[in-house]
Chain A
Amino acid sequence: MNPLERAARRRQLRFALVTLVLAVVPAFLLAPDGAGQRATFVLADARGERVVLEPLQVAVTPTVVTLAVLIALLGALQLARDLGRRAPVAVGAAAGLLVLAVLVWAGAGESVSVVALLRGTLFAAVPIAFGAMAGVLSERAGVINIAIEGQFLGGAFAAAVLASVVGSAWAGLLGGVVAGALIGVLLALLTIRYQADQIVSGVVLIVLATGVTSFLTSQLLSVNPDWNSPVRFQATAVPVLGDIPLLGSIVFRQTMLVYLMLITVVVLQFALFRTRWGLRLRSVGEHPAAADTVGIDVLRTRFRAVVLGGVLAGVGGSWFTLEAASQFAKEMTAGRGFIALAAMLVGRFSPVGALSAALLFGFSDALATALQRLPVPLPSTLLRTAPYVVTLLVVAGLIGRLRVPAADGKPYVKA
């Protein structure tokens, strides 16, 4: 066995141990609690679906024990076989089963809406996915964008004001996009034209956006409440698709920005990895000198990528005031711009990866909300730390190796 294989094997053994520990929790902590009780899972939300699925009832203790056994089997599998690159998948599956066990346990004697939980997951993923895609665009082109939080705030503020004044959510979205793009232009000017430190520039823009929106909120919006009562996007069912049992209720009875998110992910994934535009954008983020010597305008390509990223972040910011809340409030983005950065890293700088990470983080958010309503002794704040824990694991290289675009963060200076 060569050292590389040895290291991989050691790693898998560690994973196996973690998995076995995960099995202990449901087997010994959760199973005894729900003896004789049943948990009810609601599979439809009765908002006009054609087919209404019956709620699913399960006996708590047998289900939790079964899940514990499955987790233990996954652990045993890792001990027995060399899974290679699939080892993290086994750990992930075990973690998923554990979450399921917790849900069954928490739902003892209660009912849990699966539809609400998963729909909430998609909904909460919107700003994170858009923010992460903003980061992907910018960093694939070689510019670090940590200003996403600021772009969210600017976007949320502008969306609230425009949707209030014009009286249309679409106008609000346009306002959010323009605000996000403007902050993108500032970032691009600072980092590309003036070659300022990219981290410092990002931080400065966050502080700027926070200050300006807070100031305007207290000076303008609190005096003119009319300017802060945006017309919001309402959930709309997609014809036909919205009638698919379960899936339709979760995915196709959503709000506009959820649909926009799904479409954007597909389009951007294709554009980045299958088109000339994407090849050139990535080339300036990997080896700008190489791009320059074949006639690609590095600075212009980067500038456009950063501004387009600003547009996406602006859409993400609009979500706060056009979908999530009924009005703009100071610092309402509450650090989601940083979670978006985390999603970008966990998603390995790809739009599909960013969406997956955003869904994972959205799920921990929705789960925390769901558990709050159940009589269980589990602090929901603990669940809300999940994004940070997962990000730490990825950045520390425990789940595969993270490859950052080679020229990310480095200003390009011509010879």
Chain B
Amino acid sequence: MRLELRGITKRYPGVVANDAVDLTVEPGEVHGLLGENGAGKSTLMNVLYGLTQPDEGSILVDGVERQFADPGDAIAAGIGMVHQHFMLVPVFTVAENITLGMEPTDRFGRYDRRAANATVTELAERFGLPVDPDALVGDLPVGLQQRVEILKALARDARLLILDEPTAVLTPQEADGLFESIRGFQAAGRSVIFISHKLREHHEIADRITVLRRGRTIGTVDASTSEPQQLADMMVGRPVILTVDRAPARPGDVVLELDGVSVEAPDGRLLVDRVDLDVHAGEIVAIAGVEGNGQTPLVEALTGLRPVTAGTVTLAGRDVTGADRRTLLRGGVGHIPEDRNEHGLVGGFTIRDNLVLNLWDDERFAHGRTRRRDVIDEHATRMMDEFDVRAPSTTTTADALSGGNQQKVIVAREFARPIELLVAAQPTRGIDVGSIEYIHGRLVAKRDAGVGVLLVSSELDEVTALADRIAVMFRGHLVGPFPAPLAKEVIGLMMAGVDPAEAMAGEAA
């Protein structure tokens, strides 16, 4: 399919999400779409998939102008989409999910399970993407769920496949498998739009790359002739430093020691299985891993949000196993939570109030039961300046800020009080490159100031850029930590559960 988007403009109240965007995808081409969050990638794809209608511009499929009033129209035109958040019903079977909306039925409207399964098996064989049609989707690992999502598009005879951040949930090895499938489609003359904010992946899979920034097309380049640095600069609009500058760590005393720490879910499932780990002052220890392998419960247990069911936690020599959150925070633990909207900020509160959320009764900010508004405001002004929070005023509410600025507010709050240990969970998830660069610099600075940093991240680039030692979590077990640097491939293998010795040997050979 040859797809052409011409001058697509989509306005929302107060923002122009797409401003005269042009994009051409040739038959058999893998076209990368690169841009920061909020650059307009999602809006553009929603327009293309009929989920929303453009205010201006036209969509041409094989030279013919088309209007997509809903996804049904886009599907009919041969466009398939694999959403970042899968559009799959977990309690339905693979076959039910794939055939939903185009179900084979007999004369009485009865769902024909056998015919549906046959369709799925046939598709799976044709594209070399084996699945069990009778398995419940919710029981499948994420990589397989994505395969179901792809098959769903192929079952509708998609000749152009949109993949929205497809690698975000995959291990590097699963991502390799995905890339292989993409090359398969390409060989069959199908086109792919590949959306990602990871530069490396664009170079690996795309033929051409279009960069969006603030709703506009910045340019389209050949993947083979462009450099990552050039793309990053195009994406951000100014020169970006891709590597983090840091001196070797000078580790001091142990600030955090975990000895056989286990965490159980309320229903008794073991989420974290006897983890041993120590973090020294002045070093960054990273825990890598695909999400959902126990990192979240571990962080919650360390920060007092969830009970530790076995083992001991020692903070700077004091046993704090089972201590409540308040004790931990006052005892020198800083926490950048994984979900800033859920746990990090109160969206409806102002920036200045969010900045003192855990210091509200500190005598700097309160006289007994009354708050010292002027001091809080002054503090906010200073913090916003120091941490580069871009907002109209200290009374702007947190939910009005961009992700990057929200994250800076949290970092500012956690850095504004004396801490010995910083637990940073996915600190740069979903924020723009500029803010990532800034927060990374701050984390390293905190390390150099003698704080022990425990970084939990599913972004391999982040782990390798920041960590002094690297551990990997897989199904509740922690392997490592091993001294950095560690090859990404080795980390990837361990993230998939391969024994560390084997992973490293494999890499050496």
Contact surface of A with B, Cβ cutoff 8 Å: 2-4, 6-7, 274-280, 282-283, 286-287, 289-296, 403, 406, 414-415
CA A2 – CA B105 in complex, angstroms? 44
CA A289 – CA B85 in complex, angstroms? 10
Given contacts A291-B100, A293-B81, 20 further A-B contacts (CB under 8 A): A2-B270, A3-B269, A3-B270, A6-B268, A276-B110, A277-B109, A279-B96, A280-B103, A283-B92, A286-B89, A290-B97, A290-B100, A292-B71, A293-B49, A293-B87, A294-B102, A296-B101, A403-B91, A414-B51, A415-B46
Judged by a CB distance under 8 angstroms, whether B386 is at the interface is: no
Residues of chain B within 8 A of A287, CB atoms compared: 87-90
Residues of chain B within 8 A of A294, CB atoms compared: 71-72, 75, 87, 100-102, 152, 156
| Nearest CB of chain B from residue A326's CB, rounded to whole Å | 41
Instruction: Given A286-B89, A287-B87, check contact A296 B100 (CB 8 Å).
Output: yes
Residues of chain B within 8 A of A406, CB atoms compared: 90-91
| Nearest CB of chain B from residue A3's CB, rounded to whole Å | 4
Within 8 A of A (CB), among B117-167: 152, 156
CA A116 – CA B108 in complex, angstroms? 39
> Can you sample 28 A-B contacts with CB below 8 Å?
A3-B268, A3-B270, A4-B267, A4-B269, A274-B111, A276-B109, A278-B111, A280-B101, A283-B89, A283-B100, A286-B90, A287-B90, A289-B87, A290-B97, A292-B70, A292-B71, A293-B71, A294-B87, A294-B100, A294-B152, A295-B70, A295-B71, A295-B101, A296-B100, A296-B101, A406-B90, A414-B52, A415-B51
Report the nearest A residue to B46, measured CB to CB. A415
Instruction: Given A279-B96, A286-B90, check contact A291 B101 (CB 8 Å).
Output: yes
Judged by a CB distance under 8 angstroms, whether B278 is at the interface is: no
Residues of chain A within 8 A of B96, CB atoms compared: 279
CA A283 – CA B108 in complex, angstroms? 20
CB of B100 within 8 A of CB of A279, answer yes
Residues of chain B within 8 A of A275, CB atoms compared: 105, 108-111
Judged by a CB distance under 8 angstroms, whether B264 is at the interface is: yes
Report the nearest B residue to A290, measured CB to CB. B87
Judged by a CB distance under 8 angstroms, whether B477 is at the interface is: no
Q: Which 8 pairs between the two chains have the least Cβ-Cβ distance? A: A294-B101, A295-B72, A7-B268, A290-B87, A3-B268, A276-B103, A286-B89, A287-B89
CA A193 – CA B55 in complex, angstroms? 25
Judged by a CB distance under 8 angstroms, whether B442 is at the interface is: no
| Nearest CB of chain B from residue A308's CB, rounded to whole Å | 15
B interface, size bucket? 35 or more
Residues of chain B within 8 A of A279, CB atoms compared: 92, 96, 100, 103, 111
| Nearest CB of chain A from residue B114's CB, rounded to whole Å | 13
CA A294 – CA B108 in complex, angstroms? 22
Instruction: Given A280-B100, A415-B46, check contact A7 B89 (CB 8 Å).
Output: no
Report the nearest B residue to A11, measured CB to CB. B268
Other-chain residue from B72, B92, B101, B105 in contact with A286 (beta carbon distance below 8 A): B92
Residues of chain B within 8 A of A7, CB atoms compared: 267-268
Residues of chain A within 8 A of B270, CB atoms compared: 2-3
CA A403 – CA B138 in complex, angstroms? 13
Contact surface of B with A, Cβ cutoff 8 Å: 46, 49, 51-52, 70-72, 75, 81, 83, 86-92, 96-97, 100-103, 105, 108-111, 152, 156, 264, 267-270
Residues of chain A within 8 A of B89, CB atoms compared: 282-283, 286-287, 290
CA A2 – CA B90 in complex, angstroms? 26
Residues of chain B within 8 A of A286, CB atoms compared: 89-92
| Nearest CB of chain A from residue B341's CB, rounded to whole Å | 18
| Nearest CB of chain B from residue A268's CB, rounded to whole Å | 14
CA A293 – CA B96 in complex, angstroms? 15
| Nearest CB of chain A from residue B11's CB, rounded to whole Å | 16
| Nearest CB of chain B from residue A296's CB, rounded to whole Å | 5
Residues of chain A within 8 A of B152, CB atoms compared: 294
| Nearest CB of chain A from residue B301's CB, rounded to whole Å | 15
| Nearest CB of chain A from residue B475's CB, rounded to whole Å | 13
CA A291 – CA B96 in complex, angstroms? 12
| Nearest CB of chain B from residue A125's CB, rounded to whole Å | 28
Residues of chain B within 8 A of A4, CB atoms compared: 267-269
CB of A276 within 8 A of CB of B91, answer no
| Nearest CB of chain B from residue A403's CB, rounded to whole Å | 8
Residues of chain B within 8 A of A6, CB atoms compared: 268
Residues of chain B within 8 A of A414, CB atoms compared: 51-52
CA A354 – CA B269 in complex, angstroms? 31
Residues of chain A within 8 A of B92, CB atoms compared: 279, 282-283, 286
Residues of chain A within 8 A of B90, CB atoms compared: 286-287, 406
Residues of chain A within 8 A of B156, CB atoms compared: 294
Report the nearest B residue to A289, measured CB to CB. B87
CB of A415 within 8 A of CB of B101, answer no
Report the nearest A residue to B91, measured CB to CB. A286
Instruction: Given A3-B264, A4-B267, check contact A274 B110 (CB 8 Å).
Output: yes
CB of B111 within 8 A of CB of A276, answer yes
Residues of chain A within 8 A of B75, CB atoms compared: 294-295
Residues of chain A within 8 A of B109, CB atoms compared: 275-277
| Nearest CB of chain B from residue A307's CB, rounded to whole Å | 19
Report the nearest A residue to B101, measured CB to CB. A294
Report the nearest B residue to A273, measured CB to CB. B111
| Nearest CB of chain B from residue A133's CB, rounded to whole Å | 19
CA A331 – CA B258 in complex, angstroms? 62
CA A7 – CA B52 in complex, angstroms? 48
CA A4 – CA B268 in complex, angstroms? 5
Report the nearest B residue to A403, measured CB to CB. B91
Report the nearest B residue to A415, measured CB to CB. B51
Residues of chain A within 8 A of B52, CB atoms compared: 414-415
| Nearest CB of chain A from residue B480's CB, rounded to whole Å | 25
